[in-house]
Structure 1
Amino acid sequence: MIEIMAKTTKTRILILSDTHGEKFPESHYPQIKADVAIHCGDMTEQSKLSEFHITLDLLKTLDAPLKLVIAGNHDFTLDLPIFKQKIAQAGLEGEPGLVAREYGQYGEVRQLFDEAREFHNIHLLDEGMHKFILANGATLSVYASPYTASPTADWGYQFLPGDSHNFVIDQGTDIAITHSPPEGVLDRSGAKKRIGIPDVFQAVEHARPKLHCFGHVHEGWGAKLVAWRDFDPSQKASYFTAIDNGQSMSLDTLASFRRGKFDDEDTAAAKSARLAGFESQGCRPTSHCVGDDHPIVSGKHTLFVNASISGDPAMPFHLPWLVDLDLPLQELK
């Protein structure tokens, strides 16, 4: 039997997250044109109207004809029940003018994104599946979810760790965009504790998209190309059981660029020079197309990317990721 391979085209995807109302430093601005730009949430620090305007201005300047955005826990004004709850907790129910000046009226931020979609092709994605036809002729299927787990669940799009949330990713999905990392992949906090969500990992393992991008855990910045094991679908997947670590590879983490405890001067200088090379481009590029050293095979690999921009005093700004993937071409009728 002859297998007919679907036609694909190389597609360039710029990924960032957790900008928290900040602009790109001029020295770090991404210089490369992309087919799609993705923001994985936490567009703001305090969900203020001014911060949303800053992020929208940032997105408008990116050289990509399509921009996809999800909310994060800091973007709570987009989660109206939580927004109203926070106003009540602050005792500001009787100060609608003050609230509107700082945070906008209920629904005003979403209206900003409705206008941005119409005039700038910036799409705020609600939870679920979305499909796009790109300017390069590729089709793109995306799963989006802003939800994270929290011990208090009092910020936007959060649930308690003891509860579950149904992350439903269709088979054949190209890209999963979540704010939370999956448990076990690029999800270690500053305290070295894994704080990713098991349900996210299980959903991604079940669907095995080409790319899963996220943020939320700033210290988890990096990328890992995962090879999947042949796994019994009746069992509950975890990062212990479902990943073939012998065939997987870490592309970079923050440790790739920071001087380690046991690094000598030459090693530290090499790390610094390598980082400077990426900073001159304004991104960390990686390509996984047919003909590359590490092509992604559908159903066998997923590239995980934590694209948290926000850093710490040692490295206050992390680089966006620029990922090249093969995506299917739109079928001509």
Structure 2
Amino acid sequence: MSFPSPATSLSSIPANKVRLVCLSDTHGRAHRLAVSEVAEGDILIHAGDITMYGIYKEIRQFNDWLGQLPHPHKVVIAGNHDEVLDPLVCPRPQDPHKLLTNATYLQDQQITLYGLKIYGSPWIPIFNSPAFSLPRGEALRTRWRAIPDDTDILVTHGPPWGHGDLTRKGYNVGCKDLKNEVTYRIKPKVHIFGHIHEDDFIQLSNSLLY
């Protein structure tokens, strides 16, 4: 799998390439994007925080918007704002797979598309919002150890330590245990995440694209 430069025309990409379109932290505003404003691609991936307020209305709007997009495959995970998708904090939980009918919803699950194994997990170290938040240490390590070794594309809501995790106050808030698993065991081709809005970036490090 290779990645075009921003100046590359998508229509010129050879047929043996897979085009990923990555979004995250749209916070109830994804439906404001016109279809023409979303890049063409084969797999659209949303790395969590679909909602701002964690309510069903936002999920329905997001699902309807996904249904308008032409991408053959859409993969979605939750984030810490998406309380309605977390049965541990939502008072009236519903099956996320039934709410997000226009995408494949992954919660500590894997799917294979175009021969690429994609694993999605929503968990973050405890933060300001309660959904999908766990204490640092063994609780999070258990989630990361469940990620298969053969994962090609890893999608998490939170960043690994030292990559896209720097807050405005100058603190790194990523997960060190996730960083260790990604770097030394899983070694995916791509790791997609969001969560820390002010530190969005793209980085190639040791053949791993963050």
The TM-score bracket by the shorter chain reads 0.7 to 0.9
Structure 2 stretches of 5 or more lacking a match?
1-14
Residue 302 of structure 1 aligns with which residue?
Answer: 208
Residue 209 of structure 1 aligns with which residue?
Answer: 188
Separation in 1, partners of 2:80, 2:18: 29
Contact preservation (8 Å) 2:43, 2:71: yes
Are the structure 2 counterparts of residues 26 and 110 from structure 1 closer, same or farther at C-alpha, using a change threshold of 3 Å? closer
**What whole-Å deviation, never above 9, does each CA across 1:96-136 have from its counterpart, x for those lacking one?**
xxxxxxxxx431654222xx1xxx4x11111133323xxxx
Under a length normalisation based on structure 2, what TM-score does the superposition of the two structures give? 0.83
Higher strand share: 1
Residue 81 of structure 2 aligns with which residue?
Answer: 74
Per the TM alignment, residue 42 of structure 1 is displaced from its structure 2 partner at its CA by 0.5
Which residue, out of 99, 119, 132, partners 1:112?
A: 99
AA aligned opposite 1:107: Q
Per the TM alignment, residue 186 of structure 1 is displaced from its structure 2 partner at its CA by 1.1
Contact preservation (8 Å) 1:179, 1:216: yes
Structure 1 residue 143 and structure 2 residue 130: aligned? no
Higher Cα Rg, which structure = 1
Contact preservation (8 Å) 2:122, 2:132: yes
Relative contact order, higher structure (CA 8 A, sep 6+): 1
Which residue, out of 104, 109, 114, partners 1:123?
A: 104
Contact preservation (8 Å) 2:35, 2:68: no
Separation in 1, partners of 2:171, 2:111: 32
Please give the root-mean-square deviation of Cα atoms over the aligned residues, in Å.
2.2
Residue 317 of structure 1 aligns with which residue?
Answer: none
Separation in 2, partners of 1:33, 1:27: 9
Separation in 1, partners of 2:137, 2:127: 9
Per the TM alignment, residue 82 of structure 1 is displaced from its structure 2 partner at its CA by 1.2
**What whole-Å deviation, never above 9, does each CA across 1:23-63 have from its counterpart, x for those lacking one?**
34459812x42110000000001111111112112222223
Under a length normalisation based on structure 1, what TM-score does the superposition of the two structures give? 0.53
Which residue, out of 176, 194, 198, partners 2:172?
A: 194
Are the structure 2 counterparts of residues 36 and 151 from structure 1 closer, same or farther at C-alpha, using a change threshold of 3 Å? closer
Structure 1 residue 155 and structure 2 residue 130: aligned? yes
Matched pairs, number: 191
Separation in 1, partners of 2:95, 2:118: 26
Contact preservation (8 Å) 2:155, 2:191: yes
Which residue, out of 154, 159, 178, partners 1:181?
A: 159
Separation in 2, partners of 1:146, 1:110: 15
Are the structure 2 counterparts of residues 112 and 151 from structure 1 closer, same or farther at C-alpha, using a change threshold of 3 Å? closer
Contact preservation (8 Å) 2:108, 2:147: no
- Written as runs of structure 1 = structure 2, the 5 A alignment for 1:51-70 is 51-70=58-77
Are the structure 2 counterparts of residues 170 and 106 from structure 1 closer, same or farther at C-alpha, using a change threshold of 3 Å? closer
